[in-house]
Structures are given as C-alpha cells and as structure tokens.
A = this chain, B = another copy of it.
C-alpha cells in the first residue's frame, strides 16, 4: 500500500472562533488533512442554534479550500440519528466536521446512535474527525458540559461533567480556553480525577491528535495541558463553592509547532512556527 494511503486515526480539535473569513489557515489545514481536492467532507452543524447558517459558512470555506464533495448531516432528534443516508455519507467521508454550539445537544444525538457509531468507524479507518468549540469538547470520553468561567481559582462543585463521544480517551478537552479564562473550571474537574489529562485549547488554535497518543499544535494561540497526577488536593472534601486546594500540578503551554506526547504527558518536540504554519526555526529540546 502506498504510504500516502496509510491513514491513522486523526482528531482535529479546534478551540473555537477559528478564522473563517481571512486566511482561514486552520480550516484549510483540516481540508488538506482530509484529502484536499479529493476530500469527501461531512459537516454536522447540530450543536448550533443557527444550523443552516453554520453549515453554509463552513461549506463556503471548505469549497474555497478545494473540497468538492461536501454533505450536511444534521439529525433533528436522537431518533433521526439513524437515517441510513446520513450513515452512508459518514461511511464514505474522509473528513467529518462538527460545529460549535451546545455540546449537550451533540451528546444527546450522537453517542450510542448509528450516526455516532459511523463516526467511530470513520475515525478507526483514518478519516479526520474535526470539531470546534462544542464540537471539540464532544471528542473525549469525559467533557465539561457547563461550569463557571472567568477565573483561575477552581471551586468545588461549580462544573459539571457529561459523557462525550469517546474518540479521545483519558482526557477532558475545554475550548475558548484563554479567551474565556477556563483554567479554574478545568482544574476543578481534573484535580478530583487526576488520571484524566486536561487540555484547554485557545481560540483559532487546533491540536491534531494522532492515534490518540500525541498531538501537534497549530494556530494563533496555545494548547494548555494540565496534569494532576502528582498533585495533592482536598477535592473530595472541599465545601461547595469553596476554593479547592491543588498543590503540585504540572502544566504546559504549547504554541504552534509543539508536539506533545499524551502517553508520557510530556513535550516531545518544538519547532517554532508562525501562526500560519511557516517554520521559523527548529529547536532541539534541551
């Protein structure tokens, strides 16, 4: 099999508010990864409150990036998430893209349905599974469905976890991370469950995850990683609303060009890049 046909399970996880009007670097990269002119893309605008507009917007960007085959899959209910034509479109896709909006709407309609199963099959055969904002959070097995934002201080019982699609194991992914100051809420859910790794993605920033074991960062912001495995915490005991004690957590801020190993929870490589993915300088990790 020619090397270019070998695909590996790939997640393309965007922190929201990616550029759709100007250079659209991140979305163009998604199309390239999905096969460029040969891509067969499916857009799932279901999370959004403005599904028609969102579907049209992404269609325009993907077409401008060279994709010719674009299908919209938009189940109106959990029952509708069985539609055979939609399942067939997902089974043919080389790239699947979930828009932003409400992750609870996605979690209601996708996991455990034929559409959800088709997304899993697509992932396993090496299609690129992409999503932004809510469409990013839904990727992991655990996701933050709601929580206080705007603070670095984690507080007890101010965030809620729900179940996601489970494509990315052992992580919780949050988005709009720097812009909505979500450090505190991510800390509040990871500290009590330190076997989970927290990943916070800034706006107009993406992580591209290979085989669920490593990711590279692209875009204008950073991906933040939170590792509480060696932290001491009072999370089991803190009173509702009280600031949570978390001592000795390990954190990483990873700009474009970083490659991070999720198995060892450590930086593997950093190649300094412009936000638009021009390599500026290669640095060896000391």
Contact = CB atoms under 8 A, between A and B. Distances in A.
A245 B255 contact: yes
A97 interface: no
A280 B156 CA distance: 16
A187 B258 CA distance: 18
Interface in A208-265: 220-222, 224, 232, 234, 237-239, 242-256, 258
A90 B246 CA distance: 38
Given A243-B253, A253-B245, A254-B245, A153 B224 contact: yes
A247 B283 CA distance: 14
B234 A270 contact: yes
B222 A243 contact: yes
Chain A interface bracket (under 10, 10 to 19, 20 to 34, 35 or more): 35 or more
A248 B243 contact: no
A181 interface: yes
Given A181-B152, A232-B267, A258 B245 contact: yes
Nearest to A149: B181
A234 B222 CA distance: 13
B247 A266 contact: yes
Given A152-B224, A178-B151, A255 B243 contact: yes
A250 B253 contact: no
Contacts of A224: 152-153
**Most chain B CB within a 10 A radius of its CB, from A150, A153, A255, A270:** A153
Contacts of A234: 270, 272, 283
B245 A270 contact: yes
A153 B177 CA distance: 9
A183 interface: yes
A237 B177 contact: no
Interface of A: 150-154, 177-179, 181-184, 187, 200, 202, 220-222, 224, 232, 234, 237-239, 242-256, 258, 266-267, 270, 272, 280-281, 283, 285-286
Given A243-B256, A248-B250, A250-B251, 14 more contacts: A151-B178, A151-B181, A152-B181, A152-B224, A153-B178, A153-B202, A183-B183, A238-B272, A244-B253, A245-B253, A245-B254, A247-B258, A248-B267, A249-B250
Q: Which 3 A-B pairs have the closest CB atoms?
A: A243-B255, A247-B267, A222-B243
